[in-house]
Chain A
Amino acid sequence: RKEVEQDPGPFNVPEGATVAFNCTYSNSASQSFFWYRQDCRKEPKLLMSVYSSGNEDGRFTAQLNRASQYISLLIRDSKLSDSATYLCVVYGGATNKLIFGTGTLLAVQP
């Protein structure tokens, strides 16, 4: 079983739709959580960190459920420019490294 699991998609949604991605992690000692965005053939870039109380950045909302070891990302009012792969990333405290999921591909259609 992978340490960080995501549905690879693709998620095909129309512009303006709301879409949610989920991610589960296996190490209960994990300390920090992130969503990265990766455009096709580009490098990953930090989208947002995920805090225990949940956090919002414009159209993006991230949630963390430590009890269920589950992270989510909600995108409201999808734009064409949101089309990308969204990587769920977990910091495993004991191993001092970032663990990436396989990514979820989002395609926003006009």
Chain B
Amino acid sequence: EVQLLESGGALVQPGGSLRLSCAASGFTFSNYAMSWVRQAPGKGLDWVSAIRAIGGDTYFADSVKGRFTISRDNSKNTLYLQMNGLRVEDTAVYYCAKGGYSGFDSHFDYWGRGTLVTVSS
């Protein structure tokens, strides 16, 4: 059974940093692209970042480019999101999502339950 378990969400002040983790199990982690998708309170889904399975190419939404970095440790089956320069508008539930095949597009076949990041003074 595929499981994705996010952690690391917290209350942080504007300008602060946070690192989210996503522990994966139930599939060959190294074979799939992984993404972070967020959802602000009462709002829709907002794709944040992705990292390919092979080559480690990374992608970012314009809203987080230059502030967030994504990485993965295939030996630990874990995905990370390092968030720096946090803004109030980054407040959201952050979901980890598994790519649906070996490539990468908007196909996410499994999602975690999410971790809440609150940016406030």
Bound pair: A and B? no
Q: Which B residues fall within an 8 A CB radius of A?
A: none
